[in-house]
A and B are shown apart, each in its own frame.
Chain A
Amino acid sequence: MKRSKTMELGVGLFMLAGILGLLFLGLRVSGLTFSVPSDTFRLEANFANIGSLKPRARVTMAGVTVGRVTAIELDREWYDARVILELDAELEGQLSRDTTAAILTAGLLGEQYVGLTVGGDPEMLSDGDIIRDTQSALVLEELIQQFVSNMVSD
């Protein structure tokens, strides 16, 4: 069976190009990184209404992403939403106990995310603690309802 070097070279380059393309799709298009998942710690926050917050949503502080939402479940005791946040381990012991969590919206129609704001309490939150002071998502219908009832009472 004779085979030409150019054919082998062509097939080799073709397969190499395919693998490089897959790498491009991984790194440039879907933004994978080879860094090991950094250490994280867990916080919980209960919200009266989470709007359309989803797992994997961003958790930000002053607009900087510091973690993500890992799970959302119904708290059967209080019948509100328990949101579990995973934050960078660097922040462990750095957030004061009266840190507030709010569900914010990126732009007018954008996705929802959690924004944290630190308070002034000298005690700090640690792994597994619960954020007490939370602010629910803005639900348009409730907003309109409030507006209408204010109009009526005026």
Chain B
Amino acid sequence: MIGRILSLGRRGCDVLEALGRSGLFLAQSGVGIPSREGWYLWLRQMHFVGVLSLAIVLVSGLFIGMVLALQGYTILVDFGAEQALGQMVSLSLLRELSPVVAALLFAGRAGSALTAEIGLMKATEQLTSMEMIGVDPLRRVVAPRLWAGFVALPLLTVGFSVIGIYGGYLVGVEWLGVFEGSYWGNMQASVDFIEDVGNGMVKSLVFALVVTWIAVFQGYDLVPTSEGISRATTRTVVYSSLAVLGLDFVLTALMFGGFS
């Protein structure tokens, strides 16, 4: 019995310690004046986490928009309200689906890769060697990845929304025959730039920070063995997905729940 309580206490202390380490880690790698070289490092990471994630995000966005339009149409047509299709597709994408699905895809596509990359650097003692020659690995390795993720995910989310709305247009207007004017017109009448697009962007920025932070911290903090790397990569995807979905509920309640 006492042993159980002891192990529970040890787990609690471990969790708190990890949280503290990750907070310090974020603060140390996030600040600092980017040098000219840091800019190139950032660019390289932007290419990796942003440009190369574009394909999967855009294809998913297109299909999600198309499915939304198809499902929405079959329900709305019962009420004779298929004119509201544009409104339904755009609001559900902008407020909810784009930030969340883009963040989940990003965690799977880029987050796990970041963890594995930094983890292997640690396992092969590249990070220690950097410290030996007087290069701060937090600024050299971690900071560019953190900032690249923070900038790339909101841009990917915008792409997701745009292509999703276009996918809805393809299915709703071109295939199912909703009047084009009412698709765009109802959308413009009901979407508010600050309220819907802006809040979606805020969500996306929060998710970007959380997902990239979890990814680089898991990589930096893992047990430097091959098993440790595989565990950390799994943890990155699991923790990021749970954090995104949980935070999404909190943010939605704050933004659209009417508490103000």
Contact = CB atoms under 8 A, between A and B. Distances in A.
A26 B152 CA distance: 19
A22 B194 CA distance: 12
Contacts of B188: 28-31
A7 interface: yes
A32 B194 CA distance: 10
B165 A21 contact: no
Contact of A21 (B46, B158, B187, B196): B158
Given A10-B47, A29-B197, A31-B188, A15 B94 contact: no
A25 B189 CA distance: 13
Contacts of B162: 21, 24-25
A10 B196 CA distance: 29
Nearest to A18: B155
A25 B197 contact: yes
Given A26-B193, A30-B192, A30-B193, A11 B159 contact: no
A37 B191 CA distance: 18
Given A22-B158, A25-B94, A25-B161, A11 B184 contact: no
A1 interface: yes
B180 to A, nearest CB: 12
A122 B43 CA distance: 70
Contacts of B211: none
B44 interface: yes
Interface string B148-161: 00011011101101
Contacts of B155: 14-15, 17-18, 21
A29 B94 contact: yes
A76 interface: no
A14 B37 CA distance: 21
Given A18-B158, A28-B184, A31-B188, A11 B51 contact: yes
B63 interface: no
A11 B165 contact: no
A1 B158 contact: no
Nearest to B196: A30
Given A30-B188, A30-B196, A32-B193, A25 B158 contact: yes
A22 B200 CA distance: 11
Interface residues of A, number: 22
Nearest to B185: A31
Contacts of B158: 18, 21-22, 25
Nearest to A28: B184
Nearest to B192: A30
Contacts of B90: 29
Contacts of B192: 30
A41 B197 CA distance: 30
A108 to B, nearest CB: 9
B249 interface: no
A68 B5 CA distance: 64
B202 to A, nearest CB: 13
A10 B51 contact: yes
Interface of A: 1, 3, 7-8, 10-11, 13-15, 17-18, 21-22, 24-26, 28-32, 109
29 contacts: A1-B37, A1-B41, A3-B43, A7-B44, A7-B47, A10-B47, A11-B47, A11-B50, A14-B54, A14-B152, A14-B155, A15-B151, A18-B155, A18-B158, A18-B159, A22-B197, A24-B162, A25-B162, A25-B193, A26-B193, A28-B184, A28-B188, A29-B188, A30-B191, A30-B192, A30-B196, A30-B197, A31-B191, A32-B193
User: Which 9 interchain pairs have the tightest Cβ spacing?
Assistant: A31-B188, A18-B155, A21-B158, A30-B191, A30-B193, A21-B162, A10-B51, A11-B46, A7-B47
Given A11-B51, A18-B159, A30-B188, 9 more contacts: A3-B43, A11-B46, A11-B47, A17-B159, A18-B154, A25-B94, A25-B162, A29-B94, A31-B188
